Structure 1
């Protein structure tokens, strides 16, 4: 195992935005391998973020984003636990980035639970019609697969994040919870587009 140097810890800190001790511990546990350390931190961060997800997020900000010369606009309420974090530049930038994502990707709901039942029913009908003629035991799997695919494209938390399509907006929030240290939730949004 190679010695863990301050520059290695600093590089990992720059890449992840996490504290020095977390970065050093991850490097020690991964034998100095930066990529393995990042994987370790992601796994740990997801656990820490999950613990924070149960805490109440009653502070926050309302962010707006206007795009395409005033043709598309978004208002977003992003919540956190404290007024201190709500005023933090990192949190404010996160809110603007999510509002920009909403302008570009046009989700219909924050999460799967928020998608209107009639919209899901319509999608299920379309999927059943498309699966017609297939073996009976396969139809249900085909329909469920198509409905799940539909939900992943219309719910904000399941959509690939427009600035980094390797992660979903939900994963972006989990990463932000880990970095900022408080529970963060998208409470609601409204997207306006001329002619829609």
Structure 2
């Protein structure tokens, strides 16, 4: 018996996942109409293509504000996606709020990604590490390797995408974004953010 894929079911899956109508229909056909399995199928396919989508233009989206309990820390965040359809979804708004909470909870974070960190900061950290006492007696190649490892660790602490996600420490913020790209079927990018702390200059 072939399960009949109704337009209502396809529409419901699209609303749940944000994936295209044809992708939803195909996923339901592949899973004999099993709604939960169809979501998993779309998610797996999306994860596999998330990196491809990351080069696509994302100029829609929202600006989200978050004020932390006690009203002494506030965050403004611009989160971009490809279409207004995704920008209006509650799940997208929830993602923006979770990211703003992450920024509020991570006072050391200054940059969105590791790649954004200026070269001069990298060079400064490298010089600091190279001159540490515990490295002075090491061979130059070992010294270089240890230094680069330490610098990378230090600088990743400044990058939002490299942080463990506060609501699920098993994944990084970067992995969270990729999961959402898979869910929505669109590129998602953190465009910019600013953190306000009461009393800061």
Worse-matched range after superposition: 161-170 or 124-133: 124-133
1:137 deviates by 1.6
- Written as runs of structure 1 = structure 2, the 5 A alignment for 1:152-171 is 152-171=156-175
Structure-2 residue corresponding to 1:148:
152
Structure-2 residue corresponding to 1:8:
none
Asked if 1:185 is matched to 2:189, the reply is yes
1:109-149 per-residue CA deviation (whole Å, 9 max, x = no partner) reads 00112113333222212211222222212111011101111
Structure-1 residue corresponding to 2:126:
124
Worse-matched range after superposition: 114-123 or 139-148: 114-123
Structure-1 residue corresponding to 2:111:
109
> What CA distance in whole angstroms lies between the structure 2 residues aligned with 1:22 and 1:127?
52
1:173 deviates by 0.3
Structure-2 residue corresponding to 1:100:
101
1:95 deviates by 0.4
1:25 deviates by 5.5
- Written as runs of structure 1 = structure 2, the 5 A alignment for 1:46-57 is 46-57=47-58
> What CA distance in whole angstroms lies between the structure 1 residues aligned with 2:147 and 2:67?
37
1:17-52 per-residue CA deviation (whole Å, 9 max, x = no partner) reads 6969658958xxxxxxx9xxx7x9876433221222
1:75-110 per-residue CA deviation (whole Å, 9 max, x = no partner) reads 110000011111111101100100000110131100
Greater RCO between the two (CA within 8 Å, min separation 6)?
Answer: 2
- Written as runs of structure 1 = structure 2, the 5 A alignment for 1:51-66 is 51-66=52-67
Larger Rg: 2
Alignment check: 8 A CA contact 2:43 2:183 kept: no
**Unaligned residue ranges in structure 1 (runs of 5+):** 1-12, 27-33
SS state at 1:108 partner = coil
> What CA distance in whole angstroms lies between the structure 2 residues aligned with 1:87 and 1:98?
17
Asked if 1:135 is matched to 2:139, the reply is yes
**Unaligned residue ranges in structure 2 (runs of 5+):** 1-12, 32-36
Alignment check: 8 A CA contact 2:46 2:185 kept: no
Alignment root-mean-square deviation, CA: 2.7
The count of corresponding residues between Structure 1 and Structure 2 is: 172
